[in-house]
Amino acid sequence: MATATVAAALFAASVGPASAGKGTSAPHRKPTVVLVHGAFADSTSWNGVVKKLKRDGYPVVAAANPLRGLSSDAAYLKDLLASIDGPVVLAGHSYGGSVISNAANGADNVKALVYIAAFLPDKGESAVELSGKYPGSTLGEALRPVPITMPDGSKGTDLYIEQGKFHHQFAADVPENTTDLMAVAQRPVTSAALEEGASEPAWKTIPSWVLVATKDLNIPPQAQTFMAERAKAHTVEVRASHAVSVSRPNDVADIIEKAARTVR
């Protein structure tokens, strides 16, 4: 009996954040904002954005992106989205843009997509392909590959940014005492995830907003602009590094709130 009680308590705790929108059926409740980080980051990269969104009255969920494979990451996110009652504004940073594009397809509660220095792949396109479409990315020179064994026993490769190159490559406009910590705590992405082609993207049917980071060394700004124009997205430019959610959190929150205000 005691074991069952403990298990029930752990289950209740585990589903709490994903159920941020459940049980609060106020007639004019604001949409829930779901934030999806990209490679070499984790959910804490949204902390400054979360503070402003919460202050402005938005329910927020910062998803833990597995970074293992595009289709499996999207399936994980789609399950999370299904646990949230009411409309959702879904925002993705970097590779997280590829994930939200896949996951929102067929997710009826997602009413707006927001891409923050992110990929907006069309069907079959990969992050690797899009980042190399225009000159300007120096990410390849900064990566440290680590051979790994995947859960199914297959062999793979995790990619990290070398800690000594992290500040310049990822977050040049963030104080170094902060990027030193970010470099140590970075989450690796598999090379397979960055090479996997996207499924039919949700930006073809869901209104989209794009923030282009004009000093980005991971995804060239020209590539970001190309993808935004192709998606006919509402676009703003911010003079910032790839880590714009850390260096310019108010600008990021502002474009998310612009998208949220269109949701009825």
Give the whole-angstrom CA distance, residue 77 versus residue 1: 33
- Kindly indicate the confidence band of residue 6, based on its pLDDT and cuts at 50, 70 and 90: very low
Q: At what angle do helices 163-170 and 176-185 cross, to 10 degrees?
A: 120
Give the whole-angstrom CA distance, residue 142 versus residue 164: 9
Would you list the DSSP string of 30-92? PPEEEEE--TT--GGGGHHHHHHHHHTT--EEEE----S-HHHHHHHHHHHHHT--S-EEEEE
* Cβ atoms of 107 and 82 closer than 8 Å: yes
- Burial letters 65-99, b for 16+ CB under 10 A, else e: bbbbbbbebbebbbebbeebebbbbbbbbbbbbbb
pLDDT of residue 12: 36
- Burial letters 25-57, b for 16+ CB under 10 A, else e: eeeeebbbbbbbbbbbbbbebbebbbebbeeee
Tally of CB atoms within 10 A around 19:
14
Phi, psi of 115 (to 5 degrees): -110, 120
Q: Does the structure show a pLDDT above 70 at 19?
A: no
- Tokens (6 digits) for 170: 């990822």
pLDDT of residue 13: 37
The pTM is what? 0.89
- Kindly indicate the confidence band of residue 28, based on its pLDDT and cuts at 50, 70 and 90: low
Give the whole-angstrom CA distance, residue 91 versus residue 34: 6
pLDDT digits (tens, 9 = 90+) for 125-165: 999 999 999 999 999 999 999 999 988 899 999 999 999 99
- Kindly indicate the confidence band of residue 18, based on its pLDDT and cuts at 50, 70 and 90: very low
Length reported for the chain:
264
Q: Does the structure show a pLDDT above 70 at 16?
A: no
| Higher per-residue confidence, 109 vs 16 | 109
The rounded mean pLDDT for the chain is 91
Q: Is 147 helix (H, G, I), strand (E, B) or coil?
A: strand
Q: Which DSSP letter does residue 6 get?
A: H
pLDDT of residue 29: 86
Q: Does the structure show a pLDDT above 80 at 15?
A: no
- Beta-carbon contacts of 138 under 8 Å, excluding residues fewer than 6 positions away, are 169, 217
The CATH classification of domain 31-260, taken from the options 3.30.43.10, 3.20.20.60, 2.40.110.10, 3.40.50.1820:
3.40.50.1820
pLDDT of residue 27: 53
Give the whole-angstrom CA distance, residue 10 versus residue 16: 10
pLDDT digits (tens, 9 = 90+) for 191-247: 999 999 999 999 999 999 999 999 999 999 999 999 999 999 999 999 999 999 999
Q: Is 199 helix (H, G, I), strand (E, B) or coil?
A: coil
Q: Is 260 helix (H, G, I), strand (E, B) or coil?
A: helix
Secondary element (H or E) of residue 149: strand 143-149
Domain boundaries defined on the chain: 31-260
Q: Does the structure show a pLDDT above 60 at 69?
A: yes
pLDDT digits (tens, 9 = 90+) for 78-133: 999 999 999 999 999 999 999 999 999 999 999 999 999 999 999 999 999 999 99
